[in-house]
Structure 1
Amino acid sequence: MKQTPLPLLQQTSELRQAIRNKTHTGVTSGLAQGAMQGNVVILPADWANDFLLYCQKNPVSCPLIGVSEVGAFAMPELGNDIDMRHDIPEYYVYRNGEKVESRSDIEDLWQDDMVAFVLGCSFSFEHALSQAGLTPRNIEEDVNVSMFETNIATVPAGRFFGNTVVTMRPYIPKDAIRAIQITTRFPKAHGAPLHFGTPQDIGIKDLSQPDYGEAVTVKDGEVPVFWACGVTPQVAIRNAKPPICITHAPGKMLVTDVLDTDLAVL
């Protein structure tokens, strides 16, 4: 990988420090642009192989960019000072498939058998879209991206199964085509869209009522474009019911020191 520019390294380090200090608790979309962001799933080791296989069978929804050693909360391949117990603005805690709480750190929940998975995030290709003059509406309106559960089934693996979650960004048709071309270069950030046009075709009834995140304006003449989303594992976790699982809150990602272009197909 190319060496990450020092100004960006300073941004990512300062942002993680702000998250660790709990002075930044909001979404991470549009922040530290140029750095890869990641969805997070943390599981006991005896559930890790099933989840790894689930990711391998569903690489568009669950593009792996990092896996920790058992019990290790550092992720040196993604950032020298990353601490998976503290460096996400908000964590969701699931017990037996039910979300029981959200919290700003998980230090007291960390177990010696835990394995952390980091999956690529569409926030990483938002930088490329913005550079091309296609700034996503969620960034324009300073809100979390709209996310919807669909009727698109993932490939089951072990105890994990469920439908795909997507993010939505609206564009006029010619810009949608350009957005598809750009995001296809980022397979580790979900790559090309899964669908565009009629939401009902993939089981979405109302764009103004996202399952996660916030609604954005869809203007006359625009079509909704849907990309796979790293919140998909949270549906599979509800179905698999591990005794404990910890994830990021939707829209509140791990910000890494990896350049998003390092994982792009140029």
Structure 2
Amino acid sequence: MRVSFIKMHGLGNDFVVLDARVEAVPEVTPQIARAIADRREGIGCDQVILLEPSDSQAFRMRIFNADGGEVEACGNASRAVAMLHGEPATIETAGGAISLEPAEGGASVDMGRPRFGWDAIPLAYAMDTAAMPVGWDELQSPMAVNVGNPHSVFFVEDADTIDLTTLGPAIETDPLFPERVNVNVASLVGDNHLNLHVWERGAGLTRACGTGACATAVAAIRKRLAESPVTVTLPGGDLTIEWSEGGSIRMTGPATEAYRGSFEWDDFA
């Protein structure tokens, strides 16, 4: 069976989009997602995105990381899907309903309200999520935020000097995080301006992470390091994050369609 795909990216965080709204797509299993995402023998991507009809919203977006695991949210993919859809919509995700609005060269996305309770992250046991009494080498006392998926946020003097290729997987898989965690390391580089690097759960070190930018901006605002709107600079480029206490997070930034193609499903089965 031949299946069409759309290759897209948000600031270099790239996706293979399968649109089951317009043609039949077989079941996406962890094995299939891993094979599609493989950069040597597959199409290659950080996430496989499956769009499906929804009974409650305009459509449903499912997200599979490069390791095959299905996750709740992806901010960069949300912007890409908003651009692809071409008009404002509220869509269903495993992390809850989110609102999309295409904009010039990208999109603005209402990512919902952040959650801070230890059991909402989730953590293995109760603790203060605003300044967790834990650390890994030079990364100490993170803030934990759930923005549809779990994030730990560390503020350091210079985020560029932190070796996330070593510390990222150690923190991601620490037993403190029963569903694993995304690891964000940020430094303040100007008024309401953060430099951010992200080790993404199930994908590794990425050029951009939309939910990571949201979680980090929220953490900076809560710590009074910055005020909304916050510019978050990632290796792939800039995102603008708006948030006020008790409200939803709005993320605005670019998205790009790279190319379209098709493949034989059985080649990856």
TM-score between the two structures when normalised by the length of structure 1? 0.29
Highest RCO, 1 vs 2 (Cα 8 Å, sep ≥ 6): 1
Bigger share in strand: 2
